Homo-oligomer: A and B are copies of this chain.
Amino acid sequence: MTLNDLIHNPGSWLASGPDAGGVSFPGIIVSSRIRLARNLEGVAFPGWAGEDECTRIQGRVSGILQALPSLTPCLALEMADLSPVDREFLRERHLISNDLAQKSRGSGVVIRQDEVLSVMVNEEDHLRLQALRPGFQLPELWKEISTLDTELEKQLRYAFSPELGYLTACPTNVGTGLRASVMIHAPGLRLINEIEPIIKGLTKIGLAVRGLQGEGTEASGNMYQISNQTTLGETEPVIIERLIQIVGEVAHHEANARARLREHREATVADYVGRAYGVLSHARVLTSQEALDMLSALRLGCELGMISGLDKDSVNRLTLFSLPGHLQKSEGHTIPPDERDQARARLIREIVCRATVV
């Protein structure tokens, strides 16, 4: 298995998955993710260790990871071997973080073939375990990542304090080292101008709301990542359970927003979806940002039954493959930004043209 084999997959986070219970619109909850921060006992954190030390750690850890039952079959990548386009591609797949994408010798990632489980080596911590699935699947992910964590703990001694829990490079991760997050697609709440108060409310009760590409990014394509901030003083199941409950409520708000829009503001939704269809099927130049926003509207159109001849999975695939890394990776070569906008428009136009607005 090589990095290029991943291109043919739909990407684990944008495939179709189960939604929140009782929510009447599919696809509101796009994907779920859990990550665990772990470090090796008696070894400096990656930020303090030198490049040689990191390389030594990586060599040792990578061998162990590739042999773990939970990660088989897998792909092991060293950052030093990856081109800028490869890095962008992996970042867009949510398989490496923005931080790891900047790193070189001594850092890497091991990815299980189905992309559900992966481990970054020498990002901020020695190990960042990740479990990622489409739809609303936090309990399943917790089970899977726990198994991986247990397998790994048999091979390595983690830095652990009986008082604090798992020790991490950044104090905000000390304790469980856990961050659970859910990506939600909320065009309905945006259209009725209720997304901002909801984000404020979530922040007040200690949750973080981020954009499509994680920390420090703006919400693109009406995608919002909701995650826990607290890692200390509560058990993992408690943290996850609370997130499930709150995200379920947000998903219900979004479903209600869509129902209200469809009932009382039919022209607003039809305009929003129709314009996106019109632009995507005729534009010759599309920036990444505009493509995300328009595909979000098209996705809503599919979910409300306003688009025929195009299913949500195709829209999801377009969303992923119109990102710069995917676009260049699937064309097989680097493309300058202005030509990229034309290639993106062509890719999208050819698919969207086959659909019609009902």
Contact = CB atoms under 8 A, between A and B. Distances in A.
A282 interface: yes
A352 to B, nearest CB: 10
A127 to B, nearest CB: 46
A285 B278 CA distance: 13
A357 B270 contact: no
Contacts of A270: 284
A157 interface: no
A152 interface: no
A275 interface: yes
Contacts of A277: 278, 282
A343 to B, nearest CB: 11
Contacts of A284: 267-268, 270-271, 274
A303 to B, nearest CB: 18
A109 B201 CA distance: 61
Nearest to A279: B278
Number of copies: 2
Contact of A283 (B278, B280, B282): B278
A89 to B, nearest CB: 25
A275 B282 contact: yes
A328 interface: no
A254 B357 CA distance: 36
Contact of A279 (B268, B275, B285, B345): B275
Contact of A357 (B268, B282, B357): B282
A122 interface: no
Contact of A275 (B271, B274, B283): B283
A256 interface: no
Nearest to A342: B267
A62 B176 CA distance: 90
A183 B347 CA distance: 40
Chain A interface SS verdict (over half): helix
Contact of A268 (B271, B278, B281, B285): B285
A165 to B, nearest CB: 54
Nearest to A277: B282
A274 B283 contact: yes
Interface in A243-260: none
A268 B357 CA distance: 26
The residue among A268, A271, A282, A283 with the most chain B CB atoms within 10 A of its own CB is A282
A342 to B, nearest CB: 5
Contact of A345 (B271, B282, B285): B271
A293 B327 CA distance: 32
Contact of A278 (B267, B271, B278, B342): B278
A278 to B, nearest CB: 3
Nearest to A345: B271
The residue among A268, A279, A281, A345 with the most chain B CB atoms within 10 A of its own CB is A279
Contacts of A280: 278
A281 B357 CA distance: 11
A277 B277 CA distance: 11
Contact of A282 (B267, B274, B285): B274
Given A268-B284, A268-B285, A274-B283, 19 more contacts: A267-B284, A267-B285, A267-B342, A270-B284, A271-B283, A271-B284, A271-B285, A271-B345, A274-B282, A274-B284, A275-B282, A277-B278, A277-B282, A278-B278, A278-B279, A278-B282, A278-B283, A279-B279, A282-B357
